Structure 1
Amino acid sequence: MNILSIGGSDPSSGAGVQGDIKVASALGVNCFSVITAITSQNSTKFSDVESVSPKTIEKQIDAILSDFKVDAITIGMVYDSDTIRIIHSKLKGEKIPIILDPAIESTTGGILLKKSALESFRKLLIPLCHVITPNVSEAEVLSGVKITKESNLTRAAKKLSSLGAKKIVITGHKFVKNKISDFVFENGKGRTISEDRINYETHGSGCTFSFALGYAIASKNTFYDAVKFAKRFTYQSIENSQKIGQGVKITNPKQDKIRKDLRSAITEFGNLKDSYVLIPECQTNFVYSKQDPKSVSDILGVSGRIVKAGKRLIVAGNLEYGGSKHVATAVLTMQKKFPEIRAAINIKYDQKTIEKLQRVKNKISRYDRTDEPAKIKNKENSSISWGVEHAIRNSKSAPDIIYHTGDIGKEPMIIVFGKTPKQVVRKISNIL
């Protein structure tokens, strides 16, 4: 996945384009960048800002869009009207989802958007975006609505909607006791997502949220699910924030090796020649477990599915712990006997595929779903556990493959297991 970050340079790397690059690294995606302004700031103060010329901004945007596929665009600091106009002129025809984070004032006190540019911001950038993510004070400035109580959030969101905003998230309100909340507005209706309040200030949370939201939207989530993901990711980044200077803490997106390794393996799987032929009717999931998982909540998987679109694969969903039920349950069951097995993918059943897997010396087990007891069939998510237990009950070592040939209304399936996602992909690559 490729996300373009358009915004200011923050030498402290707490926010701005440098902050977005940190988030991209944690999420395992590529981050392109277009610098709109150079700031001089640290964790205690904001001392200077210098705009980048519109011509240079234009050339940066052209350089990226002429060469790379971009899945989402985030826009942060746009210091003046000239910057806004050139961004609008370059992006107005694009179909790429644009996430607009109205950076008006830095946590460290600097002005990031001139007052003289507010009207251009309202007229040119708000209608351009897929979603706008102001905090409460930014929403007040842009909407003209004073937000002193919860009902004002709806009024402010409706005003932003009238300016052309398609979807709105007003972040960081404190109208729910002991909570920090985001107000999500879509199709004329609003609802709130909350987390426990953290009682210290950080630098970079707004940028973290907008970039994570862009990632989740590009992953084909529903808008509400995308916001929930971004909210949780940002909350964890704030919890993980570090005091590395003399002032406010810097948000620190948590690096997750399990996430990084699984995303890399999914990309590798998608790049295999003819991998699309392995996608079953129910689509595919790919999972990777923590050490010693207690439940599927300890197993990372795609919250939607890996789906076939012609001859290519699309990851329709985020990587989330608990994102998979069926394939994760297979790994959870396998680990009870063979704890070294932490990764698995489900692929389409075909007898020729089984024969190919046998020829390259995989250990293969099977079970018959027609033997499944009625009480198991009638209990949700029990069939997979029963099947895997049945397939490995006499095994002294972990099988590479477990398959079944289906039942009435149940699609036949192959599950490929491994110690790591990379090992799973290697087993599949041997038959393509």
Structure 2
Amino acid sequence: MTTHNPQDLVESLRNHLADPNAPLSFLLGAGASCAVPQKASSAPLIPNIQQLTTKCQDSACAENEEFSNAWEALSAECELREESPNIENILSRIIMKKEAVGEGETLCGLTRSQLTSLENIVRQTIVSATAPPENSIPTSVPHDSFANWLKLSARRKAVELFTTNYDVLIERSLERQRVPMFGGFVGGYQPFFHSESIDDSQLLPPAEWVRVWKLHGSVNWEICDRYADVRIIKGDYPGSGQTILPSYLKYHESRKMPYAAIIDRFSKTLNQDNSLLITCGYSFGDQHLNSIIYTALDTKQTSNVVCLRFGNISPGDELAKIAQEKPNLTVVGQNGGVISGKWGNWKLLQPLSQKTDSFMRFVFKNDPPEKGQEATPLTGQVLLGDFNSFCGLLKTMLPTGEAKDG
């Protein structure tokens, strides 16, 4: 049976992260935000997509029986279309029906006015769940370590940070660490989204600035129609959820501008020579993003993607099977992974030394010894898919005395 040495994996990853010349980008999904616990419990501060869907369903069903029945019908429609009945797909279908229903007609048992009310309930629930008040956020969050590493990394090319998350935890941590960032908005009164500054490399800030691209919108983006043109602006926190971008609205009217520009940026980033994309907390549930990733891997042989997955995986999982056909796609699960197209479980070649344990202890956990066994097993679990562990690894790469949070 094939095995992979986790120490080789981690050392290779550290070398790539330390290379100042390599085009480096990250894609953070819901798992990165779920890594932050609430102050008073171990429950996630920000819910994952399934938990968020349940919260929205509970809010809708608590309103009245008509909304409850409509939710069941919308979920059934998603399943018939072989789509996951998650909140993004549910919200997409609500909006499509709101625009399709005629006066005096109903769809899923709801009038246009009722569909609008249901949409507003969903959006407000998303904002409430993903925009926690400041006093509920723990003193130290892994995003702080991530931001500190970005601040102290000497790079000749700007780091491109993409996220599907609605929350602003990463922006908060970057500001706490005084890291300059740019996300396509310009202005001082009501910063507005300026797509030209993304398309023109001469308008982009220098390498010292981190570029933060919110692929699915943000809790503090708003639609502003007070001018001759409709624009997306950065509004008050937490906002109304107007620009939470489900799959349908990503291609519709004013919402299309930020999504199309950022998606184009994502494609250009991946298609650079020797580019490296690291995903963490991303479940590969957005088929449009997946298509861009896989196309870049096929057409740009020097591009590489390292996918850090939370929990166990198997060689029969869809992503693992794809990685076995694409040698420049590395998939790292807790129990094993796919490297250079080959599946294998984790096994050290030799016990960890004092030197290697200084960084391996954050990301590798030895299996417990069997009864009567004295030596620590060489097998174990790789924890890189946990955003806390990944950020712990980043802290080990900082100069002595600089590994601090906040």
Point out which structure has higher relative CO (alpha carbons under 8 A, 6+ apart): 2
**Would you call these one fold, judging by a TM-score over 0.5?**
no
TM-score range, shorter chain: under 0.3
TM-score, reference length from structure 2: 0.28
Considering fraction of residues, name the structure with more strand: 1
Structure number with greater Rg is 1
TM-score (norm 1): 0.26
